[in-house]
Amino acid sequence: MTDAAVSSRGRQWKRPPFITSPLLRWSLITGGVLYLALAFGTTEVNWTRVWEGLPRGKQFLLAFAPPDFTSRWDAIVDGVLESLWMTAVSTVIGILMSVPIALGAARNIASPPVYYFCRTVIAVSRSFQEVILAIFFVKLFGFGPFAGVVTLSVATIGFFAKLLAEDIEDMDPRQAEAVRATGGGWFQWLNYGIQPQVMPRFIGLSMYRLDINFRESAIVGIVGGGGIGATLNTAFDRYEFDSAAAILIVIIAIVMCVEYSSGYVRRWVQ
Amino acid sequence: MATATRNGERVWRRRERGKQLAIWAGWFFGTLVFLGCFKLISDKTIWFFVTDAGHQAADLGARMVPPNWSYMHQLWRPLWDTINIATLGTVIAIVIAFPIAFLAARNTTPSVKFVRPVALLIIVSSRSINALIWALLLVAIVGPGVFAGILAIGLRSIGFCAKLLYEAIEEIDESQVEAVAATGAAGGQVLTYGIMPQIMPAFAGITVFRWDINIRESTVVGLVGAGGIGLELNTKIMELGWSSVTIILLSIIATVVVSEWVSAKVRHAII
């Protein structure tokens, strides 16, 4: 009973507030209200356009019953397969590139210059959303799945290296030291002292990233990076909502499968 | 202990032979899949453009520096819009995700057989469709602009917030709920006094975490016309104004780094 208020009926219990300091609480509330007022005040919404668009929204919802799988079936299969290849290749390449950077970004095993360099690489890779990276890689490597693969691989670094580095920082130093004490070289130290400790997390993260890369492979296509996104973009551009609905259903189904199997592998590893 | 015999001497091995062989087979199979996929992608790639990439990158680099600093004063408005898209989107998502999470959590759902699967389906569909795809769809429906961006970010975040929230609800301490129920509290009172205080820290943490992710996502919804800095980026790329693109990218990095710092501070204060 942290807070009690005196009312006409004597002392009565009052629920303790979530934020204890009243000054902080009230300044947060006023700040929030002020911000919301400002944000709503400066957001321009063209309500007539929204109103006109509603029938189109209804049309889209109706397109799900039934979705049109047949008329663009070949393009859908092509796009999905391309997305799956991209996912597999980019996850492997991304992880291969992430491992050295993760080692460099772990404070307990890297020297400060290497540490800061690797952390910068991670921060830059994380700052840019996949699509922004994709625009540049499409410009550099031309249209097609290769640009998508490079994009997803680079984006994998920011995610994978960061989380792996955190896991390496959390490891038990005594095991690594024990390997070192037997006279093991640097690679032996890595392979027998550190790698077994981070392996469960490593596999878990790989599976998780595989899952994310598939989702993202669906959008790099919007800017020309290959995969199912290109097909989807075309469908929206032509207002073929029934084909778009079919593609979305395929994406959701595959994401669910990948998520379920990756969750299974992660539970099995841990 | 796994050992092998070498020159009549027992030598330590990390794994038994069978397990080692299985691991090698796994690697072999994995490499095959990787090479196969790579081959398929390589067939669809025009390698001339790829080998030309170094030249292209040098050209692009030369165009991007020095940055066009005077362009910065035109960027404050799109940046403000971007932050609004992320924040208001997060607010919408939280408001909708909250009831869905209670419907999806095994211990609070009114019906495990009927309501829970529906709630889970909403969560999965919202999570599987990227914000950019939502934006693409919403621009077609409500027209280009910030509003489509806010809705896109909101719809995308519902699944994420609801999923983490319902996991938090399922992990609560039931004895506290029971204690509140034992005083004769009604359903709503059990919710506000028994469950809510337990999930509030998780709730605040999830909100801030998602807000941080949304800042990053809101930088791109503009690419398909849904407002914010992405719209500016798209325009400048179309105009080939690369020195202005540099400024946009720098301001995106700055915004993301600041939002990440804020989110880390807040989450640290909560937990």
For each of the domains in chain B, give its residue range(s) and CATH number, in order of start: 3-63 (no CATH), 73-270 (1.10.3720.10)
Q: Tell me, yes or no, whether A139 lies in a domain.
A: yes
pLDDT of residue A154: 93
Contact assignment for A49 to B143 by CB distance below 8 Å: yes
Q: Tell me, yes or no, whether A113 lies in a domain.
A: yes
Contact assignment for B44 to A82 by CB distance below 8 Å: yes
pLDDT of residue A228: 87
The pair of structure tokens assigned to A252 is 């959701």
Give residues 50 to 109 of B whose Cβ lies within 8 Å of A: 50, 53, 56-57, 60, 80-81, 84, 87-88, 91
Contact assignment for B129 to A88 by CB distance below 8 Å: no
Nearest in space to B249 (alpha carbons), one of A117, A129, A120: A129
Q: Are B21 and B13 in contact (CB under 8 A)?
A: no
In this predicted model, what pLDDT tens digit does every residue of B62-99 receive, in sequence order? 888 888 888 888 889 999 999 999 999 999 999 999 99
Counting Cα atoms < 13 Å in the Cβ hemisphere of A209 gives 30
Contact assignment for A146 to B41 by CB distance below 8 Å: yes
Give residues 150 to 189 of A whose Cβ lies within 8 Å of B: none
Nearest in space to A124 (alpha carbons), one of A86, A169, A87, A161: A161
Give residues 121 to 160 of B whose Cβ lies within 8 Å of A: 124-125, 127-130, 132-133, 136-137, 140-143, 145-147, 150
Q: Tell me, yes or no, whether A124 lies in a domain.
A: yes
Compute CA B38 distance to the chain's CA centroid, rounded to the nearest angstrom: 27
Q: Tell me, yes or no, whether A66 lies in a domain.
A: no
Q: What residues of chain B score a pLDDT lower than 70?
A: 1, 271
Spatial separation of the C-alpha atoms in residues B52 and B58, rounded to whole Å: 10
Q: Are A134 and A220 in contact (CB under 8 A)?
A: yes
Spatial separation of the C-alpha atoms in residues B145 and B138, rounded to whole Å: 10
Contact assignment for A45 to B146 by CB distance below 8 Å: yes
pLDDT of residue A1: 46
How many CB atoms are located within 10 Å of the residue B51 CB? 10
Q: Tell me, yes or no, whether A208 lies in a domain.
A: yes
Give residues 102 to 121 of A whose Cβ lies within 8 Å of B: none
Name the residue in chain A with its Cα closest to that of B269.
Answer: A19
Look up residue B223 and give its DSSP letter: G
Q: How many residues does chain A have?
A: 270
| ipTM reported for the complex surpasses 0.85 | no
B96 to A197, B85, B100: CA distances (angstroms) = 40, 16, 7
Name the residue in chain A with its Cα closest to that of B196.
Answer: A18
Count how many domains chain A has: 1
Q: Tell me, yes or no, whether A39 lies in a domain.
A: no
Spatial separation of the C-alpha atoms in residues A97 and A160, rounded to whole Å: 10
Contact assignment for A226 to B200 by CB distance below 8 Å: no
Shortest CA gap A237–chain B (Å): 8
pLDDT of residue A9: 62
Name the residue in chain B with its Cα closest to that of A15.
Answer: B193
Preceding peptide of A66 cis, ω within 30°: yes
pTM confidence score: 0.82
Preceding peptide of A16 cis, ω within 30°: no
Name the residue in chain A with its Cα closest to that of B201.
Answer: A18
Which range of residues forms the domain containing residue A124?
Answer: 76-269
Q: How many residues does chain B have?
A: 271
In this predicted model, what pLDDT tens digit does every residue of A49-71 receive, in sequence order? 888 888 888 887 887 778 878 77
Shortest CA gap B256–chain A (Å): 6
In this predicted model, what pLDDT tens digit does every residue of A26-47 receive, in sequence order? 888 899 899 888 888 887 788 8
Shortest CA gap B127–chain A (Å): 9
pLDDT of residue B18: 85
Contact assignment for A251 to B252 by CB distance below 8 Å: no
B229 neighbourhood in chain A, CB within 8 Å: none
pLDDT digits (tens), chain A, 270 positions: 444 555 556 678 777 777 778 888 888 889 989 988 888 888 778 888 888 888 888 887 887 778 878 778 888 888 889 999 999 999 999 999 999 999 999 888 888 999 999 999 998 888 888 888 898 888 888 888 889 999 999 999 989 999 999 999 888 888 888 888 988 888 888 888 888 888 888 888 898 898 889 888 888 888 888 888 888 888 887 878 888 888 888 888 888 888 888 878 878 876
Shortest CA gap A109–chain B (Å): 24
Shortest CA gap A172–chain B (Å): 20
The pair of structure tokens assigned to A262 is 């990756």
Query: What residue type is A73 in one-letter code?
Result: W
Quote the longest CA-to-CA distance of chain B.
79
Instruction: Produce one character per residue of A45-64: b if its CB has 16 or more CB atoms within 10 Å, e if not.
Output: eeeeebeebeebbeebeebe
Phi/psi class of residue B225: alpha, beta or left (left: φ > 0; alpha: ψ in -120 to 50)?
A: left
Spatial separation of the C-alpha atoms in residues B122 and B100, rounded to whole Å: 8
pLDDT of residue A8: 58
Residues paired with residue A5 on neighbouring β-strands, in sequence order: A12
The pair of structure tokens assigned to B41 is 């992608």
Quote the longest CA-to-CA distance of chain A.
78
Shortest CA gap A16–chain B (Å): 10
Spatial separation of the C-alpha atoms in residues A30 and A28, rounded to whole Å: 6
Helix, strand or coil for residue A11? strand
What's the alpha-carbon Rg for chain B, to the nearest Å? 26
Contact assignment for B146 to A135 by CB distance below 8 Å: no
Q: Give CA angle at A136 (A132, A139), nearest 5°.
A: 140
A215 neighbourhood in chain B, CB within 8 Å: 128, 130
Q: Are A127 and B216 in contact (CB under 8 A)?
A: yes
Q: Tell me, yes or no, whether A232 lies in a domain.
A: yes
- For position A200, which CATH number holds? 1.10.3720.10
Shortest CA gap B4–chain A (Å): 18
Spatial separation of the C-alpha atoms in residues A133 and B25, rounded to whole Å: 35
